[in-house]
Structure 1
Amino acid sequence: MDTSEIIGNRKQYLLKRAKKFYPVIVFLIILFLAAFIRTRNLPLLQDKYPGALDPYFFLREARTLISQGSIPEIDRLRYVPIGADNRIEAHMTSYAIAYIYKFTHFFDPSFTIEKSAILYPVIAFCLSLIPFFFLSKKLFNENIALISTFLLVISPAALQRSMAGFADKESLALIFFFSSFLFLLFYLDQGSFGKKSLFALLTGMSLLLLGLTWGGIQFVLLTIAVTMILLYLTDKLSLQDEVAYIFVILPLLLLPHFTLKYGSMLGMLTSVTMFPIFAIAGVFLADVIINNLPCIRKEQRPVVIFLLLGILGIVLLAVVSPARLLDIGQKIYAQFIHPIGTNRLTLTVAENRQPYFVEWLSSFGVSLYLFLAGGIILFYTLLHHLKAKMQLTACFIFLLLGLLWSRYQDSSILNGTNIPSLIFLFGSLGVFSVLIIIGLHKALRDEALAADIKELNTSWLFLLAWLIVSIIGARGAIRLFFIIPPIASILIAYLIFYLFTHLPKKDKVYRGLAIGAILLVMIPTVLSQMNSSLQQAAYSGPGLDDQWQKAMAWVKTQTPENAVFAHWWDYGYWVQTSGNRSTILDGGNYYPYWNHLFARNVLVGNNEEQALRYLKVHNATHLLIISDEIGKYQAYSSIGADENFDIFSWIGTYVMDVRQTTKKGNITDYIFAGGTYLDEDFIFEGKVFPKSRAAIAGFIIPVANDDDPENMDILQPEAILLHNNQQVRIPISCVFDDRQKLYFNKTGMEGCLRIMPRYLNQKYQQENGAALWVTRKGMDALWTRMFLFDEQMKYFHLVYDDSNERELAYYGGQTMGPLKIWEISYPENLTIDKEMQDRFLSITTPEWLLLEKSSPLLT
């Protein structure tokens, strides 16, 4: 053997080795990139401050696990005086943080539980990439798996809930999310019953762990349910598949034994989102039984089974509760139109708001079109051997458009709730469903068509089911955009692979132009996503900012250990974890009616004595209010209002426009521009200005002798009211300036303009450059009187105020200001009868208020 031959063999050997190990090397690089991106914010977190709100709850539970070894059944820091039943909560995240701490602390004693909470989401996300890679590989091949994993890592939409500091449920849930799908495909792909049963059991165990981690298990269950129905109707399931399916659902039956999160066994079996996966077991059982009846042909079995089970179900529901039929129909309808619910509490949480298509486009950009294109090409390729492939693909495109464009934009004719929108949505669903049913019905009589349908790719049917369920879910709330990147990454990777493998091989010019066009789209998209993720990660600081850190340090050292804090629910986890004090409300919102009662009787209430009664029942010792309440006022005044929204209001922000300032003699008119609608009907000089249609476009504040501070005098301001293209100047009754209210006698609009500084940049400010318009309703609210207008209350004693560091002002487009804490005392003669006490502690929400959690998908 000569030297050249030896070198050639050596090259062949090295190439084989490189080919064998390159996926591992590339995957490890991607893994490193995932960790690199998600830890760019570590300096901001300082190894002790997680991000957002909910992570502080899991951090506190992890501390409890470390110090006590278990989580108590009742959490006494929450919902005073009742406490929180921990059996309702999912604790897997807390255990993950605790075990990461224990493992790492063994090797590095300086490692803290706070650092464990900060690093946990990065560790969990990186671990989730392993089943995701193998899932993508199982669906397609190794190359597509690597590309899809890379795309998922750099996706901005997948970043927030997986970056350092965001110690919430989703990162851990992804491990079981992807594992359940991976094991499902292996279960369907095995030849022997033993292996099928093993992977079916692994699927069920992954689902059980997912259910103990995250309420989003419903999306996974629905995806599996839709997949199994599709496979059954296309005759792709063997008798062994149907029997082994029992091992998928058996572990799920254990959920009520570990947590009350999903209710009882009956509650799970009657849940709109969980029922289908259990019902399929009934279908398979009936199929096994009917399989032994010679009088029913094989092709007739699905029709007979669904008819029998449908009739049986309707009869049972009619006997048990006829109203239940209507209720189920309404819930199914609601899952499409309002999956997260329509109650006041749900709709006032920003991340629960339903997105419009323009928001999809804003969040995903060009990737949205690439993702949809990948799904369409996959659908067409799946059906390429069917005669009706073009018609079915056209209907599939119509379905995607219906799901997304039926809620195009608030101002559009397709706003998601009007008749055209609903016709488009349900019309697309109906047309697609009818066409599928017609095709399956033809297959009953056409053996050739039945054989073609049976050849459909099992994995791709699953992928399409995942696609549709994901779009329907994310259509329900902006928060659920998080479930889109995994399926989007796989389909975009498939699209790239498809385009490159279908390029013309003979025409080199055309091939070169096509490759250039593909790269021209993909490279900027990838670079844009990478840059966006890096920027987002680098500037994602702690949820508990410097202002809160100082306040909670004060709380921890200057208040009794048995102190109970009253505040809006957003801040509960921070006070409990960082301040180590009990609260009445928090982000769990397990007693929604309490949010209404606190908002109505305390924050937006106009009676100090009534506020004291509510606070006394809940053993409150301190009241906390921060400037964030200005922006949230609309939300909690809605929640606190009665059936007629009696106290529903909001605060408008106005900024001085120096260009419009005019001076006549010794009087200078300052113009404050902005815009806010009226919160109630207003009548002036016989003209009616209707609420929510007439708007205040600005204010004119005349000041006499403004160049002489000693003799300067604010004259009665006027509001510029707009309605029906007409402008009217109306006197307003009050201005708050220099810590005092100035009232004016001329009849006009009741309300008060709260003047404040405006900071244009770090160096320059306008001393009176901005203003808040507090309406008549707002002026009566306890929180505005105490916080905005510095009114002294007899039984509320201001004990903490950081106004010297954070004065109320308009900073670069948003209103920011102090955090204030009042210590509460109670009059000796304060009376609280039993009826009032029972009402203030009631955990049952009145039906008219509709504050009950209508969907567990996000909890």
Structure 2
Amino acid sequence: MIFMDKSKIMSILKSVAIILVIVCFVSFLRFQSADLSTLPTDQQAYYKDSNGLPYFTEMDSYYNLRMTQDFLDYGHLGDTINNGTPWDTLSYAPEGRNAEYPPMIVYVTAFLYYMANMFSNMSLMKVAFYASAIIAPLAPIPAFIIVKRITNNYGGTTAALIVALAPNYFSHTFAGFFDTDMFNVVLPLFMILFFIESIKSSKLAYRIVYIVLTVLSMVLFSLAWDGYIFYIAMLIIFMIIYLILSFVLNIDLIKPRKDYSNILSWFVNQKEIFSIVMIVIIGIIGLGVTNGFGSLIDAPFELIGLTKLQSAISSTAFPNVAISIAELQIPNLLSGGIAGAFSANAGGIINGVGGVVAVFGAFTILILFAHSLLKLRSYRTGKYANKKPPKGKRESASKVKESNGTFISNAVSNIDSLSDVNKIKRETLLYLTLFSVWILLSAIAVTQGSRFIMVLMIPLGLCVGLFVGYAVMYIRDKLNDKNKLMVIAVAGLLLTFYPIIQTFMVFYPLYKISSTMSFIIPIIILVAGIGISALLIYGFKDIKSSRFAKPAVMLILMFAIVSPTVFGAYQVSESVVPSTSDPMWDSMTWIKENTTNVTTLTSWWDFGYLFEVASERPTLFDGGSQTGIRAFWTGKAMATNDTNLSAAIFEMLAYSGDEATELLDNYTHDSGKSVEILESTLTLTSEEAKNRMVNSYGLTSVQADNVVNLTHPENPVPVIFVASSDMLQKAGWWTYFGSWDFDTKNSSGYQYLMPQKPVKMESIGNGKYQANITNLEEEGIFHKTVITKGAENNTTNATTKTVFANGTPVKTQNNTTFNPFSINKLIVIEDNIIWKNETINESGNYTLLVMGENGTYTSIIMSKELENAMFTKLFILTGFGQKAYELVHMEEGVSLWKISGINTLKNETGSTNSSR
């Protein structure tokens, strides 16, 4: 008895040690992102704040930071209370918006902040920067325990690493990515772990404890993510299917009532029924108290809404900005072709779980569960089904200990050694049903967007761990053929070699080795691994004589499965670049110091959250205010050729938000007509606008007055438009929304092709000079601008061409020159003088803008629709050709524009009335 206790203690300590190592390892990888290792040393400070902390990698982080700061300052989310509701006055100006938000990230970060400042002086931003790297590494704990209890430490380790480092999870939870994703794997795994244990545990006291822990995890998760309802629905569906299958497969799940003295005694001893009923009762109370009982009524409708995200995106009159969000795009099954099948990345569903080998293993384990269950079915009334087998048939204690949790293996191979076949059948059905339902529902969720790959990878990751666990047991207990062991070792080493060489070939400059060595070193590792494996396997006469041969093969198998995920996570952590830099932050600091408090900022939505934190000014458009109306008008203001209309749009939005559009929609019942009315009247005086609404569009005088009061303010709100270089790459989206066709409910996006870098003119003889500028590179094909210049003024000319890396022109199948960027107009500006502005090809679709100064040239190939767009005039031509905006400040890649005639800067004098 003492020996058994000691053995159990050693087993627990071993598991704890493994978990600690895994947690430390996955934490280390997440903390690596703060080093900005791939950036040149002299550029790293550009992406760090004044305290040397890198800027956040994702913009939602700044919203979470601001809500946490509000909580610390005011005791609630948001900066004020509006009719009893927490309110955020900086978002969705001018009205602001509801600040109710899953508060777990705020509570946890505030707690970490208080804890950190008990021992040191640490800013909230620094605590928030590292919060994900502290919380997300807890995921391996439940993952390891779930799989280890079914298989062994190899399986548990595999599941822990796959789950903790899965691309779609890791890429949202490293240091510098401060978002709610940190909870979206940790809490569901703990909830499932406790749920399983509440069903499996024999002792009533343990079951009650696990039931409470299940509900506690559920409640905490409801405070972390609105999608928590998915897991509640999943558990309910699982229990329904589990009970049905137990009846179909003749598994004695519910015991006869007559065997118990009273109904309470009977109920307590029905483990599955007792657990699910108690979880439902306590869960309703817990969720109701925490989130409000009304939320329980709304929950089923929210779940239905999750299954209709894609249809909701395309069902509105105004364009839905959600279609531009990468996480809501339907993911590819596989990214990177055949080579990508063995890689882990966030580009595809299969890649998101560690590659095709891992996915194969996950589904193999489901087949094994099903096969085992069918094989067990015939033992329902076996002679040892309800009693212990004879002593001669029983396993020794050491054997039982060695096969801890391996009920499937024993059930199939040595059924007479089991004392309770029905228990094994119940547990087999439990895991088969749980993982199957979990995977199926998660797969359905993935059809609504790539963000749900994170949900799918949890059950698949656990199944991958089970696959490795059972494969290891097969190798340990069944496989004694040296050649087969060697085949497994070589195959495993080859699978491990692939992510290693991928990593070396990408990061060899970081390791300060040559590109040749980046290929040689992985080969040396592969050859050494094969050599050592051969020595361990063939170096002994009998395979059982080698203590390390089988463990080595087992480790190789585990490494083969987890290496794509591990090295994929490493590649992500080493490649992190913050999503903003000093110029943007400094621009916001300038706004905070130099503009009036009521000044409203506007731009495309991506940087909205950062604007609010750094400038402390209200913002028209951010990541939480992505309405169709706001997306359309913001895009229209940036894409229109009429800069006066652009400024008027922003004046309207800053003063009355969406009210004018919504009011007109009530009058016209036609969003397209409402937009037409506003576009044709915003640049007029208020009296002219009213007359046109009445005479041309049939509004009553009262209706027109109501609209004009919202569109033509006597005292406009000061507005600053923030133009930044990142919006050049995003032009396809903001032009798509700004060019929306309300009849077809569709649109077209336009693009800028920016140069990789400016190029100096070089002599090509005969008094002529030439510059070749690369505007776009796609898979070895270069789209270039070729600029030529003679000795005289006005001799500069330019054209586009498409070539391979060696300069050979790209040809079509008809052997004609391929060039997708046919130039409609050529504009040449040299030393701030326009030398050319001429149409080259009436049927061309692009405008080529060439700008030169002191012999250095740059070029922009743009869709011809963007030639006179507001954004082109402001950001590219620095305000040339318009008077609606005034440049007030400029940093590298960022320019700030106020609307002319409106007091925006502190101590500024002049008219504050609308110029319209």
TM-score > 0.5, shorter chain as reference: yes
Secondary structure at 1:780 match in 2:
coil
> How far is the alpha carbon of 1:164 from its aligned partner?
1.3
Measured at CA, do residues 128 and 655 of structure 1 come closer, stay the same or move farther in structure 2, by a change above 3 Å?
Answer: closer
What is the aligned partner in structure 1 of residue 65 from structure 2? 59
Measured at CA, do residues 369 and 506 of structure 1 come closer, stay the same or move farther in structure 2, by a change above 3 Å?
Answer: closer
What is the aligned partner in structure 1 of residue 370 from structure 2? 383
Aligned equivalent of 2:464, options 456, 473, 492:
492
1:512 aligns with 2:478: no
Aligned equivalent of 1:595, options 631, 655, 675:
631
What is the aligned partner in structure 2 of residue 21 from structure 1? 13
Could you tell me whether the CA contact under 8 Å between 1:653 and 1:773 is conserved in 2?
A: yes
Measured at CA, do residues 257 and 577 of structure 1 come closer, stay the same or move farther in structure 2, by a change above 3 Å?
Answer: farther
Counterpart Cα distance in 1 of 2:846 and 2:357: 52
Secondary structure at 2:887 match in 1:
strand
Could you tell me whether the CA contact under 8 Å between 2:753 and 2:861 is conserved in 1?
A: yes
Secondary structure at 1:41 match in 2:
helix
1:213 aligns with 2:262: no
Q: Which amino acid aligns with 2:98?
A: D
Could you tell me whether the CA contact under 8 Å between 1:338 and 1:476 is conserved in 2?
A: no
| Residue-pair matches, total | 660
1:613 aligns with 2:644: no
Could you tell me whether the CA contact under 8 Å between 1:354 and 1:478 is conserved in 2?
A: yes
Secondary structure at 1:542 match in 2:
coil
Secondary structure at 2:856 match in 1:
strand
Counterpart Cα distance in 1 of 2:879 and 2:612: 28
Map Cα deviations across residues 430-449 of structure 1 (whole Å, 9 max, x no partner). Answer: xxxxxxxxxxxxxxxxxxxx
1:791 aligns with 2:879: yes
> How far is the alpha carbon of 1:265 from its aligned partner?
4.8
Map Cα deviations across residues 368-398 of structure 1 (whole Å, 9 max, x no partner). Answer: 2232222232222212246699xxxxxxxxx
Map Cα deviations across residues 800-828 of structure 1 (whole Å, 9 max, x no partner). Answer: 212xxx4xxxxxxxxxxx11111224476
Secondary structure at 1:734 match in 2:
strand
What is the aligned partner in structure 2 of residue 119 from structure 1? 130
> How far is the alpha carbon of 1:74 from its aligned partner?
0.7
What is the aligned partner in structure 1 of residue 850 from structure 2? 755
Aligned equivalent of 1:477, options 433, 438, 449:
449
> How far is the alpha carbon of 1:585 from its aligned partner?
1.0
Map Cα deviations across residues 150-186 of structure 1 (whole Å, 9 max, x no partner). Answer: 3434444432222112110011333321122112212
Q: Which amino acid aligns with 2:88?
A: D
Map 1:623-634 to 2 at 5 A: 623-634=721-732
Could you tell me whether the CA contact under 8 Å between 2:824 and 2:864 is conserved in 1?
A: no
Aligned equivalent of 1:352, options 328, 337, 347:
328
Measured at CA, do residues 119 and 716 of structure 1 come closer, stay the same or move farther in structure 2, by a change above 3 Å?
Answer: closer
What is the aligned partner in structure 1 of residue 299 from structure 2? 268
Measured at CA, do residues 266 and 590 of structure 1 come closer, stay the same or move farther in structure 2, by a change above 3 Å?
Answer: farther
Aligned equivalent of 1:819, options 866, 869, 894:
894
> How far is the alpha carbon of 1:94 from its aligned partner?
1.5
**What is the TM-score with the length of structure 1 in the denominator?**
0.67
1:779 aligns with 2:867: yes
Q: Which amino acid aligns with 2:332?
A: Y
Aligned equivalent of 1:170, options 181, 186, 205:
181
Counterpart Cα distance in 2 of 1:339 and 1:766: 53
Structure 1 unpaired stretches of 5+: 1-8, 275-330, 390-449, 678-695, 759-764, 807-817, 833-859
Q: Which amino acid aligns with 1:611?
A: S
Secondary structure at 1:150 match in 2:
helix
Counterpart Cα distance in 1 of 2:770 and 2:148: 70
Secondary structure at 1:606 match in 2:
coil
Aligned equivalent of 1:36, options 4, 25, 28:
28
What is the aligned partner in structure 1 of residue 670 from structure 2? none
Aligned equivalent of 2:141, options 121, 130, 133:
130
> How far is the alpha carbon of 1:105 from its aligned partner?
0.9
What is the aligned partner in structure 1 of residue 200 from structure 2? 189
Map 1:365-380 to 2 at 5 A: 367-380=354-367
Secondary structure at 1:603 match in 2:
helix
Secondary structure at 2:861 match in 1:
strand
Aligned equivalent of 2:597, options 561, 576, 589:
561
Q: Which amino acid aligns with 2:826?
A: C
Counterpart Cα distance in 2 of 1:731 and 1:383: 63
> How far is the alpha carbon of 1:194 from its aligned partner?
7.5
Counterpart Cα distance in 2 of 1:496 and 1:646: 49
1:642 aligns with 2:741: yes
What is the aligned partner in structure 2 of residue 81 from structure 1? 94
Could you tell me whether the CA contact under 8 Å between 2:54 and 2:176 is conserved in 1?
A: no
> How far is the alpha carbon of 1:221 from its aligned partner?
3.2
> How far is the alpha carbon of 1:778 from its aligned partner?
1.0
Measured at CA, do residues 231 and 14 of structure 1 come closer, stay the same or move farther in structure 2, by a change above 3 Å?
Answer: closer
What is the aligned partner in structure 2 of residue 604 from structure 1? 639
> How far is the alpha carbon of 1:731 from its aligned partner?
6.1
> How far is the alpha carbon of 1:494 from its aligned partner?
1.8
Q: Which amino acid aligns with 1:160?
A: S
1:735 aligns with 2:827: yes
Counterpart Cα distance in 2 of 1:614 and 1:168: 33
> How far is the alpha carbon of 1:454 from its aligned partner?
6.4
Could you tell me whether the CA contact under 8 Å between 1:654 and 1:698 is conserved in 2?
A: no
Secondary structure at 1:583 match in 2:
coil
Map Cα deviations across residues 224-252 of structure 1 (whole Å, 9 max, x no partner). Answer: 23312320221366475446534444535
Map Cα deviations across residues 406-462 of structure 1 (whole Å, 9 max, x no partner). Answer: xxxxxxxxxxxxxxxxxxxxxxxxxxxxxxxxxxxxxxxxxxxx9998674312321
Measured at CA, do residues 646 and 183 of structure 1 come closer, stay the same or move farther in structure 2, by a change above 3 Å?
Answer: closer
Could you tell me whether the CA contact under 8 Å between 1:48 and 1:114 is conserved in 2?
A: no
Counterpart Cα distance in 2 of 1:264 and 1:455: 34
Counterpart Cα distance in 2 of 1:165 and 1:656: 29
1:149 aligns with 2:250: no
Counterpart Cα distance in 2 of 1:460 and 1:104: 44
> How far is the alpha carbon of 1:676 from its aligned partner?
11
Measured at CA, do residues 187 and 728 of structure 1 come closer, stay the same or move farther in structure 2, by a change above 3 Å?
Answer: closer
Q: Which amino acid aligns with 2:173?
A: S
Aligned equivalent of 1:578, options 588, 593, 614:
614
Secondary structure at 1:797 match in 2:
strand
> How far is the alpha carbon of 1:790 from its aligned partner?
2.2
Counterpart Cα distance in 2 of 1:772 and 1:19: 66
Could you tell me whether the CA contact under 8 Å between 1:672 and 1:700 is conserved in 2?
A: yes
Structure 2 unpaired stretches of 5+: 37-47, 79-85, 255-266, 346-350, 377-421, 496-556, 655-716, 803-809, 903-911
> How far is the alpha carbon of 1:594 from its aligned partner?
1.0
Could you tell me whether the CA contact under 8 Å between 1:552 and 1:578 is conserved in 2?
A: yes
Secondary structure at 1:357 match in 2:
coil
Secondary structure at 1:773 match in 2:
strand
**What is the TM-score with the length of structure 2 in the denominator?**
0.63
Aligned-CA RMSD value = 4.3
Aligned residues with identical type, % of pairs: 17
Counterpart Cα distance in 2 of 1:253 and 1:268: 15
Measured at CA, do residues 383 and 526 of structure 1 come closer, stay the same or move farther in structure 2, by a change above 3 Å?
Answer: closer
Could you tell me whether the CA contact under 8 Å between 2:828 and 2:851 is conserved in 1?
A: no
Measured at CA, do residues 243 and 160 of structure 1 come closer, stay the same or move farther in structure 2, by a change above 3 Å?
Answer: same
Map Cα deviations across residues 705-764 of structure 1 (whole Å, 9 max, x no partner). Answer: 1xx3x6362247578999995559976323243345431266634753123699xxxxxx
What is the aligned partner in structure 2 of residue 327 from structure 1? none
> How far is the alpha carbon of 1:570 from its aligned partner?
0.5
Measured at CA, do residues 716 and 147 of structure 1 come closer, stay the same or move farther in structure 2, by a change above 3 Å?
Answer: closer
> How far is the alpha carbon of 1:214 from its aligned partner?
1.3
Counterpart Cα distance in 2 of 1:740 and 1:247: 79
Q: Which amino acid aligns with 1:498?
A: Y
Map Cα deviations across residues 819-851 of structure 1 (whole Å, 9 max, x no partner). Answer: 11112244766488xxxxxxxxxxxxxxxxxxx
What is the aligned partner in structure 1 of residue 720 from structure 2? 622
Measured at CA, do residues 525 and 248 of structure 1 come closer, stay the same or move farther in structure 2, by a change above 3 Å?
Answer: closer
Measured at CA, do residues 173 and 456 of structure 1 come closer, stay the same or move farther in structure 2, by a change above 3 Å?
Answer: closer
Map Cα deviations across residues 280-318 of structure 1 (whole Å, 9 max, x no partner). Answer: xxxxxxxxxxxxxxxxxxxxxxxxxxxxxxxxxxxxxxx
> How far is the alpha carbon of 1:586 from its aligned partner?
0.8
Q: Give the stretch that moved more between structures: 512-521 or 783-792.
A: 512-521
Could you tell me whether the CA contact under 8 Å between 2:774 and 2:782 is conserved in 1?
A: yes
Secondary structure at 1:162 match in 2:
coil
> How far is the alpha carbon of 1:112 from its aligned partner?
1.6
Could you tell me whether the CA contact under 8 Å between 2:139 and 2:160 is conserved in 1?
A: no
> How far is the alpha carbon of 1:553 from its aligned partner?
2.9
> How far is the alpha carbon of 1:544 from its aligned partner?
3.0
